[in-house]
Amino acid sequence: MYKRGKILVRPAIILTIAGSDSGAGAGIQADVKSISANGGYAVTVITAITAQNTKGVQNIFPISSKLVKDQLCSIFADFKVDAVKIGMLHNAEIVKTVADTLEKYKPKFVVFDPVMVSSSGDILTEKDSISTMIERLFPLCSLVTPNFDETVSIILASRMNKSNEIQENVKLKNSNFLQTIKDNACKISKLGAASILITGVCIENFNDEEKTISTDNFFDVLFSNNQFSFFGKPKILSKNTHGTGCSLSSSIATNLAFGENIVNAVNISQKYVHECILSAKNLEIGQGNGPINHFFLANSVKILS
Protein backbone atom coordinates (compact mmCIF):
# COMPACT_ATOMS: atom_id res chain seq x y z
CA MET A 1 0.00 0.00 0.00
CA TYR A 2 1.05 3.62 -0.42
CA LYS A 3 -0.43 6.93 0.67
CA ARG A 4 -2.43 9.13 -1.66
CA GLY A 5 -3.23 12.06 0.59
CA LYS A 6 -4.47 10.39 3.79
CA ILE A 7 -5.94 7.34 2.05
CA LEU A 8 -4.03 4.09 1.75
CA VAL A 9 -4.53 2.43 -1.63
CA ARG A 10 -3.35 -0.99 -2.77
CA PRO A 11 -2.16 -1.75 -6.30
CA ALA A 12 -3.16 -4.95 -8.07
CA ILE A 13 -0.63 -7.62 -7.12
CA ILE A 14 0.22 -10.10 -9.86
CA LEU A 15 2.28 -13.20 -9.12
CA THR A 16 4.34 -14.57 -11.98
CA ILE A 17 5.65 -18.13 -11.68
CA ALA A 18 8.22 -18.68 -14.42
CA GLY A 19 11.84 -19.18 -15.44
CA SER A 20 14.53 -16.52 -15.46
CA ASP A 21 15.89 -15.32 -18.82
CA SER A 22 19.38 -13.87 -18.40
CA GLY A 23 18.85 -11.85 -21.59
CA ALA A 24 15.72 -10.33 -19.98
CA GLY A 25 13.63 -10.62 -23.14
CA ALA A 26 11.30 -13.39 -22.02
CA GLY A 27 10.44 -15.32 -18.87
CA ILE A 28 10.10 -13.70 -15.48
CA GLN A 29 11.87 -10.53 -16.62
CA ALA A 30 9.38 -9.96 -19.45
CA ASP A 31 6.53 -10.71 -17.04
CA VAL A 32 7.69 -8.08 -14.54
CA LYS A 33 7.97 -5.48 -17.31
CA SER A 34 4.56 -6.32 -18.78
CA ILE A 35 2.80 -6.33 -15.40
CA SER A 36 4.43 -3.02 -14.45
CA ALA A 37 3.63 -1.37 -17.79
CA ASN A 38 -0.03 -2.39 -17.37
CA GLY A 39 -0.21 -0.83 -13.91
CA GLY A 40 0.22 -3.87 -11.67
CA TYR A 41 2.76 -4.73 -8.98
CA ALA A 42 4.72 -7.88 -9.84
CA VAL A 43 5.84 -10.49 -7.32
CA THR A 44 7.81 -13.48 -8.53
CA VAL A 45 8.50 -17.17 -8.06
CA ILE A 46 11.44 -18.41 -10.14
CA THR A 47 11.14 -22.01 -11.34
CA ALA A 48 14.35 -22.26 -13.37
CA ILE A 49 17.44 -20.25 -14.21
CA THR A 50 18.40 -20.20 -17.88
CA ALA A 51 21.60 -19.11 -19.55
CA GLN A 52 19.92 -17.36 -22.44
CA ASN A 53 20.39 -14.51 -24.89
CA THR A 54 18.78 -13.30 -28.11
CA LYS A 55 20.41 -16.18 -30.03
CA GLY A 56 19.08 -19.04 -27.92
CA VAL A 57 19.14 -20.99 -24.67
CA GLN A 58 22.56 -22.30 -23.66
CA ASN A 59 21.65 -24.02 -20.39
CA ILE A 60 18.73 -24.62 -18.01
CA PHE A 61 19.00 -25.15 -14.27
CA PRO A 62 15.64 -26.05 -12.67
CA ILE A 63 15.03 -24.75 -9.15
CA SER A 64 14.27 -27.47 -6.60
CA SER A 65 10.59 -28.07 -5.90
CA LYS A 66 11.35 -27.30 -2.22
CA LEU A 67 12.63 -23.82 -3.06
CA VAL A 68 9.74 -23.22 -5.45
CA LYS A 69 7.35 -24.14 -2.64
CA ASP A 70 9.18 -21.85 -0.19
CA GLN A 71 8.93 -18.93 -2.62
CA LEU A 72 5.22 -19.55 -3.15
CA CYS A 73 4.49 -19.79 0.56
CA SER A 74 6.50 -16.63 1.22
CA ILE A 75 4.44 -14.69 -1.33
CA PHE A 76 1.02 -15.93 -0.22
CA ALA A 77 1.87 -15.44 3.47
CA ASP A 78 2.34 -11.71 2.94
CA PHE A 79 0.67 -10.47 -0.24
CA LYS A 80 -2.96 -10.46 -1.36
CA VAL A 81 -2.43 -11.90 -4.82
CA ASP A 82 -5.04 -10.66 -7.30
CA ALA A 83 -3.98 -12.81 -10.25
CA VAL A 84 -1.37 -15.42 -11.14
CA LYS A 85 0.50 -15.89 -14.40
CA ILE A 86 2.31 -19.20 -14.91
CA GLY A 87 5.04 -19.68 -17.49
CA MET A 88 7.90 -22.16 -17.72
CA LEU A 89 7.57 -25.22 -15.46
CA HIS A 90 10.53 -27.41 -16.35
CA ASN A 91 9.53 -30.73 -14.77
CA ALA A 92 6.62 -32.63 -13.26
CA GLU A 93 7.72 -32.09 -9.65
CA ILE A 94 7.59 -28.32 -10.08
CA VAL A 95 4.18 -28.60 -11.75
CA LYS A 96 2.85 -30.59 -8.78
CA THR A 97 4.30 -28.09 -6.29
CA VAL A 98 2.68 -25.14 -8.06
CA ALA A 99 -0.66 -26.97 -8.35
CA ASP A 100 -0.64 -27.95 -4.66
CA THR A 101 -0.07 -24.33 -3.63
CA LEU A 102 -2.72 -22.88 -5.94
CA GLU A 103 -5.24 -25.44 -4.70
CA LYS A 104 -4.49 -24.28 -1.15
CA TYR A 105 -4.66 -20.51 -1.70
CA LYS A 106 -7.24 -20.41 -4.53
CA PRO A 107 -6.30 -17.17 -6.36
CA LYS A 108 -9.19 -15.68 -8.31
CA PHE A 109 -7.44 -15.60 -11.69
CA VAL A 110 -4.82 -17.98 -13.07
CA VAL A 111 -3.41 -17.47 -16.58
CA PHE A 112 -1.16 -20.27 -17.83
CA ASP A 113 1.17 -19.89 -20.80
CA PRO A 114 2.28 -23.52 -21.29
CA VAL A 115 5.81 -22.73 -22.46
CA MET A 116 7.37 -25.82 -24.05
CA VAL A 117 9.81 -24.50 -26.65
CA SER A 118 11.61 -21.13 -26.79
CA SER A 119 11.28 -18.82 -29.80
CA SER A 120 14.75 -20.01 -30.85
CA GLY A 121 13.58 -23.64 -30.84
CA ASP A 122 15.11 -24.80 -27.55
CA ILE A 123 13.17 -27.34 -25.44
CA LEU A 124 12.18 -25.79 -22.09
CA THR A 125 9.90 -28.44 -20.59
CA GLU A 126 10.51 -32.12 -19.92
CA LYS A 127 8.10 -34.21 -21.99
CA ASP A 128 6.55 -36.10 -19.06
CA SER A 129 5.55 -32.85 -17.36
CA ILE A 130 2.91 -32.02 -20.00
CA SER A 131 0.48 -34.71 -18.84
CA THR A 132 0.95 -33.49 -15.25
CA MET A 133 0.15 -29.93 -16.35
CA ILE A 134 -3.05 -31.18 -17.97
CA GLU A 135 -4.13 -33.19 -14.95
CA ARG A 136 -3.17 -30.81 -12.16
CA LEU A 137 -3.03 -27.26 -13.53
CA PHE A 138 -5.62 -26.97 -16.30
CA PRO A 139 -8.61 -27.35 -13.94
CA LEU A 140 -7.26 -24.41 -11.89
CA CYS A 141 -6.85 -22.05 -14.84
CA SER A 142 -9.01 -19.11 -15.86
CA LEU A 143 -7.17 -19.08 -19.19
CA VAL A 144 -4.58 -21.21 -21.00
CA THR A 145 -2.65 -19.51 -23.84
CA PRO A 146 -0.94 -22.08 -26.13
CA ASN A 147 0.22 -21.44 -29.67
CA PHE A 148 -0.90 -23.92 -32.34
CA ASP A 149 2.07 -26.27 -31.94
CA GLU A 150 1.51 -26.34 -28.19
CA THR A 151 -2.15 -27.30 -28.73
CA VAL A 152 -0.92 -30.31 -30.70
CA SER A 153 1.46 -31.32 -27.88
CA ILE A 154 -1.31 -30.93 -25.30
CA ILE A 155 -3.78 -33.03 -27.28
CA LEU A 156 -1.21 -35.77 -27.90
CA ALA A 157 -0.26 -35.82 -24.21
CA SER A 158 -3.91 -36.07 -23.23
CA ARG A 159 -4.37 -38.97 -25.65
CA MET A 160 -1.46 -40.79 -23.98
CA ASN A 161 -3.26 -40.10 -20.75
CA LYS A 162 -6.38 -41.75 -22.22
CA SER A 163 -8.52 -38.71 -21.46
CA ASN A 164 -11.95 -40.04 -22.57
CA GLU A 165 -13.38 -38.01 -25.48
CA ILE A 166 -10.13 -36.26 -26.36
CA GLN A 167 -8.53 -39.35 -27.86
CA GLU A 168 -11.20 -39.75 -30.53
CA ASN A 169 -10.91 -38.23 -34.00
CA VAL A 170 -8.09 -35.81 -33.22
CA LYS A 171 -7.39 -33.50 -36.16
CA LEU A 172 -3.94 -31.99 -35.84
CA LYS A 173 -3.97 -30.25 -39.20
CA ASN A 174 -6.16 -30.40 -42.29
CA SER A 175 -7.21 -28.31 -45.29
CA ASN A 176 -9.64 -26.35 -43.10
CA PHE A 177 -7.07 -24.85 -40.76
CA LEU A 178 -9.45 -22.46 -39.03
CA GLN A 179 -11.74 -25.37 -38.21
CA THR A 180 -8.74 -27.27 -36.87
CA ILE A 181 -7.97 -24.35 -34.56
CA LYS A 182 -11.56 -24.37 -33.31
CA ASP A 183 -11.54 -28.15 -32.86
CA ASN A 184 -8.31 -28.04 -30.88
CA ALA A 185 -9.63 -25.27 -28.63
CA CYS A 186 -12.77 -27.29 -27.89
CA LYS A 187 -10.76 -30.42 -27.13
CA ILE A 188 -8.42 -28.58 -24.76
CA SER A 189 -11.36 -26.93 -23.00
CA LYS A 190 -12.58 -30.41 -22.08
CA LEU A 191 -9.41 -30.82 -20.03
CA GLY A 192 -10.66 -28.32 -17.46
CA ALA A 193 -9.48 -24.79 -18.26
CA ALA A 194 -12.23 -22.15 -18.22
CA SER A 195 -11.00 -20.43 -21.41
CA ILE A 196 -8.48 -21.13 -24.17
CA LEU A 197 -6.57 -18.52 -26.20
CA ILE A 198 -4.67 -19.96 -29.18
CA THR A 199 -2.05 -17.37 -30.08
CA GLY A 200 -0.21 -16.37 -33.23
CA VAL A 201 -2.45 -18.09 -35.78
CA CYS A 202 -1.26 -17.16 -39.29
CA ILE A 203 -3.95 -16.52 -41.91
CA GLU A 204 -1.60 -17.86 -44.63
CA ASN A 205 -2.53 -21.35 -43.37
CA PHE A 206 -6.24 -20.71 -44.03
CA ASN A 207 -7.97 -21.90 -47.18
CA ASP A 208 -9.44 -19.31 -49.57
CA GLU A 209 -12.89 -19.38 -47.97
CA GLU A 210 -11.47 -18.99 -44.45
CA LYS A 211 -9.31 -16.03 -45.52
CA THR A 212 -12.44 -13.97 -46.21
CA ILE A 213 -13.08 -13.47 -42.47
CA SER A 214 -10.48 -10.67 -42.24
CA THR A 215 -7.65 -8.80 -43.94
CA ASP A 216 -5.40 -9.21 -40.89
CA ASN A 217 -2.31 -11.43 -41.12
CA PHE A 218 -2.40 -12.97 -37.66
CA PHE A 219 -5.05 -13.95 -35.13
CA ASP A 220 -5.41 -14.89 -31.53
CA VAL A 221 -8.46 -17.15 -31.17
CA LEU A 222 -10.33 -17.15 -27.84
CA PHE A 223 -12.73 -19.91 -26.83
CA SER A 224 -14.67 -18.90 -23.72
CA ASN A 225 -18.20 -19.63 -22.51
CA ASN A 226 -18.69 -21.85 -25.58
CA GLN A 227 -18.10 -18.89 -27.89
CA PHE A 228 -15.24 -17.96 -30.21
CA SER A 229 -13.74 -14.49 -30.44
CA PHE A 230 -11.11 -13.51 -33.01
CA PHE A 231 -8.48 -10.84 -32.38
CA GLY A 232 -6.75 -9.87 -35.62
CA LYS A 233 -3.46 -8.06 -35.97
CA PRO A 234 -1.42 -6.89 -38.97
CA LYS A 235 2.02 -8.33 -39.61
CA ILE A 236 5.01 -6.34 -38.36
CA LEU A 237 8.33 -6.98 -40.11
CA SER A 238 10.67 -7.18 -37.13
CA LYS A 239 13.17 -9.62 -35.66
CA ASN A 240 12.46 -8.19 -32.20
CA THR A 241 9.63 -10.44 -31.03
CA HIS A 242 11.31 -12.36 -28.20
CA GLY A 243 9.01 -12.68 -25.18
CA THR A 244 5.71 -11.82 -26.86
CA GLY A 245 3.88 -14.84 -25.40
CA CYS A 246 5.12 -14.14 -21.87
CA SER A 247 4.21 -10.48 -22.17
CA LEU A 248 0.74 -11.18 -23.55
CA SER A 249 -0.23 -13.65 -20.82
CA SER A 250 1.13 -11.36 -18.08
CA SER A 251 -0.79 -8.41 -19.47
CA ILE A 252 -3.99 -10.48 -19.59
CA ALA A 253 -3.54 -11.55 -15.96
CA THR A 254 -3.02 -7.93 -14.93
CA ASN A 255 -6.11 -6.70 -16.76
CA LEU A 256 -8.22 -9.51 -15.29
CA ALA A 257 -7.06 -8.36 -11.85
CA PHE A 258 -8.29 -4.85 -12.68
CA GLY A 259 -11.78 -6.23 -13.34
CA GLU A 260 -11.83 -6.57 -17.12
CA ASN A 261 -13.77 -9.52 -18.51
CA ILE A 262 -11.84 -12.13 -20.46
CA VAL A 263 -12.66 -10.69 -23.90
CA ASN A 264 -11.67 -7.15 -22.93
CA ALA A 265 -8.54 -8.34 -21.12
CA VAL A 266 -7.38 -10.22 -24.23
CA ASN A 267 -8.23 -7.30 -26.53
CA ILE A 268 -6.39 -4.73 -24.38
CA SER A 269 -3.39 -7.02 -23.99
CA GLN A 270 -3.12 -7.93 -27.65
CA LYS A 271 -3.11 -4.24 -28.61
CA TYR A 272 -0.51 -3.56 -25.92
CA VAL A 273 1.85 -6.28 -27.19
CA HIS A 274 1.33 -5.14 -30.79
CA GLU A 275 2.53 -1.65 -29.83
CA CYS A 276 5.46 -3.18 -27.91
CA ILE A 277 6.56 -4.99 -31.08
CA LEU A 278 5.97 -1.98 -33.32
CA SER A 279 8.01 0.37 -31.13
CA ALA A 280 10.90 -2.12 -30.89
CA LYS A 281 11.33 -2.94 -34.59
CA ASN A 282 14.24 -0.50 -35.08
CA LEU A 283 16.00 -1.30 -31.81
CA GLU A 284 19.28 -3.21 -31.87
CA ILE A 285 19.47 -5.33 -28.71
CA GLY A 286 21.62 -8.43 -29.08
CA GLN A 287 22.54 -10.24 -32.28
CA GLY A 288 19.49 -12.48 -32.63
CA ASN A 289 15.76 -12.36 -31.95
CA GLY A 290 15.59 -9.22 -29.81
CA PRO A 291 13.07 -8.21 -27.12
CA ILE A 292 10.01 -6.03 -27.48
CA ASN A 293 9.68 -2.56 -25.94
CA HIS A 294 7.41 -2.95 -22.90
CA PHE A 295 7.58 0.69 -21.86
CA PHE A 296 6.83 2.38 -25.18
CA LEU A 297 4.31 4.70 -23.50
CA ALA A 298 7.02 6.12 -21.25
CA ASN A 299 9.50 6.63 -24.11
CA SER A 300 11.92 4.93 -21.77
CA VAL A 301 14.49 3.66 -24.30
CA LYS A 302 17.20 6.29 -24.74
CA ILE A 303 19.27 5.86 -27.89
CA LEU A 304 23.06 5.96 -27.70
CA SER A 305 24.73 8.26 -30.21
Buried b (16+ CB within 10 A) or exposed e, 149-181: ebbbbbbbbbeebebeebeeeeeeeeeebbebb
**In whole numbers, what is the pLDDT of the chain averaged over residues?**
89
What would the pLDDT profile of 36-54 be if each residue is shown by its tens digit? 999 999 999 999 999 999 9
Q: What does pTM read for this prediction?
A: 0.90
Question: What percentage of the chain reaches a pLDDT higher than 70?
Answer: 85
What average pLDDT score do residues 261-287 get?
A: 96
pLDDT score of 117 more than 80: no
What would the pLDDT profile of 50-109 be if each residue is shown by its tens digit? 999 999 999 999 999 999 999 999 999 999 999 999 999 999 999 999 999 999 999 999
Q: What are phi and psi of 250, to 5 degrees?
A: -65, -40
Question: What percentage of the chain reaches a pLDDT higher than 90?
Answer: 70
- For domain 2-295, say whether CATH 3.10.580.10 is its number: no
Q: Which residue has better confidence, 276 or 166?
A: 276
Give the pLDDT of residue 127: 78
Give the pLDDT of residue 168: 44
For 298, other C-beta atoms within 10 Å of its C-beta total 9
pLDDT score of 203 more than 80: no
Buried b (16+ CB within 10 A) or exposed e, 96-135: bbbbebbeeeebebbbbbbbbebbeeeebbbeebbbbbbb
What would the pLDDT profile of 214-252 be if each residue is shown by its tens digit? 667 788 999 999 999 999 888 899 999 999 999 999 999
